[in-house]
Structure 1
Amino acid sequence: MNLEKQTYGNFAKMSFFMNFLAHLLLSGDDEEVIIGNYVGDFIKGRLTGDKIIGWSEEFLLGVKLHRHIDMYTDEHPIVRDAKHKAADVLGKTAGIAIDIYFDYFLAKYFNQFCSETLDGYSARIYEVIRRNDPLIPVHMKSMVRTMIKQDWLNTYRTLEGIKLTFGRLSRRAEFLDVLNLAEEDLEKNEDFYHEKFNLFFPLLQKEAARFITENRQ
């Protein structure tokens, strides 16, 4: 495997700079489940006994939930249709783009999925994150500070904010330069992607709720 393919593989498996909002909202109300889901991409490998020593059952559930959400999303035919459309412009980075597109729609139409305003929800979640700082991996803390300072959750709801997100991503590696075209693709095909989101996200909500209920000890 060449370096670019290996690097792309690493990025493709990491949504920590992508769909924060969806992962957080799908976590329910327990703070440790929320944090476990939030940090899920920063915890690699099998969840063996030695790795999870000291973890609470709820934090572990959150990490497992994160992995289940990613697997369910990646394998769903509605999401695959959306990725296929995005790939016409964005190639192998289509999966990264779709994660962000869907957070854009979630943020833009947040009142359809949550009783709180996006502003209120974001402020509350930032406090949850601060309060649970000991649970956040050390190598994630710098990004967390930046996320809160720049209020990433609220920037998802505008095309200008999405453009900034794609701009940050495009600078991380040369092969991600194509993501500079993503905001234009989203704007041009917004109705198509919005329809896919509306079909998929309620299914994902039900699946996340089922997973939490069935795996809570």
Structure 2
Amino acid sequence: MNYLAHLHIADHTQTSLLGNFLGDFVKGNPDGLYNVDVVKGIRLHRFVDSYTDSHPLIKTVKPLFSKELRRFSPISLDMFWDHCLAKYWLDFHANSLADFSTQTQTRIANESSSLTQALPTRFEKISELVWQGRWFEHYVDIENIEFALQRIASRSPRMAPLAQTFDTLGTHYDQLCDTFFKLYPEVLEATRLESKKETV
């Protein structure tokens, strides 16, 4: 799952939006870095990533990618799941995606302002781009997923093959959408249960 799904899951579980958004930017043990709620959100983000990567449904769609591109499939699929969530947003949330984005931006800003610790520089940069560019609303169009993959692929020669994975997403679009509608409700239920645990 990518940024939109992680924030939707935070809203679904009533856990820290900031923490769930921070998950990709904090390495190692987060205990003591931020307050208890933010740390719980970081841990929930990591749970989502682990649960999704090991899910049997993911194992059925990874072979759709060629052997040369398969190691890039987790990134490509995460972007695709965000596209599906954005496209069918009202199946999963009562408010419009535009309203959710605006409200989430405000709530994260409020959470951030209450921290005494500095946030990672890369997180600050990406967060600014997400809100200024209204990324989540743009995820509705699959062409913007292609653009996003190309942008990530351009960061280094090692990531360059990622751009080629979009062809697989397009070729197997319907099958992958069906997979999302089977997978995501299970992710939501698993995270609901996980969020009830004393994880911090």
Length-normalised TM-score, structure 2? 0.88
1:87, distance to aligned residue in structure 2 (A) = 4.1
Are residues 126 and 31 of structure 1, via their aligned partners in 2, closer, same or farther at CA, if it must alter by over 3 Å? farther
| Match of residue 137 from structure 1 | 119
| Match of residue 79 from structure 2 | 100
Which residue of the other structure, out of 185, 190, 207, is the alignment partner of 2:173?
190
Amino acid at match of 2:102: A
Amino acid at match of 2:173: E
| Match of residue 49 from structure 2 | 70
Are residues 154 and 172 of structure 1, via their aligned partners in 2, closer, same or farther at CA, if it must alter by over 3 Å? same
Between the aligned partners of 1:96 and 1:150, the Cα distance in structure 2 is 20
Say which SS state the counterpart of residue 106 (structure 2) adopts.
Answer: helix
Say which SS state the counterpart of residue 43 (structure 1) adopts.
Answer: coil
Identical-residue share of aligned pairs (%): 24
Are residues 189 and 147 of structure 1, via their aligned partners in 2, closer, same or farther at CA, if it must alter by over 3 Å? same
How many aligned positions are there? 196
| Match of residue 36 from structure 1 | 19
Length-normalised TM-score, structure 1? 0.82
Matched, 1:214 2:197: yes
Between the aligned partners of 2:126 and 2:170, the Cα distance in structure 1 is 28
Matched, 1:151 2:134: yes
Structure 1: which 5+ residue stretches go unaligned?
A: 1-17
Structure 2: which 5+ residue stretches go unaligned?
A: none
Which residue of the other structure, out of 94, 101, 105, is the alignment partner of 1:122?
101
| Match of residue 148 from structure 2 | 165
Are residues 191 and 174 of structure 1, via their aligned partners in 2, closer, same or farther at CA, if it must alter by over 3 Å? same
1:183, distance to aligned residue in structure 2 (A) = 2.8
| Match of residue 202 from structure 1 | 185
Q: Where in structure 1 do 4 or more consecutive aligned residues deviate above 6 Å?
A: 29-32
1:179, distance to aligned residue in structure 2 (A) = 2.3
Matched, 1:112 2:91: yes
Are residues 96 and 56 of structure 1, via their aligned partners in 2, closer, same or farther at CA, if it must alter by over 3 Å? same
Between the aligned partners of 1:30 and 1:201, the Cα distance in structure 2 is 14
Say which SS state the counterpart of residue 10 (structure 2) adopts.
Answer: coil
CA contact (8 A) 1:31 1:128 kept: no
CA contact (8 A) 1:107 1:156 kept: yes
Between the aligned partners of 1:185 and 1:101, the Cα distance in structure 2 is 11
Q: Give the number of the structure with larger relative contact order, counting CA–CA contacts within 8 Å between residues 6 or more apart.
A: 2
CA contact (8 A) 2:12 2:188 kept: no
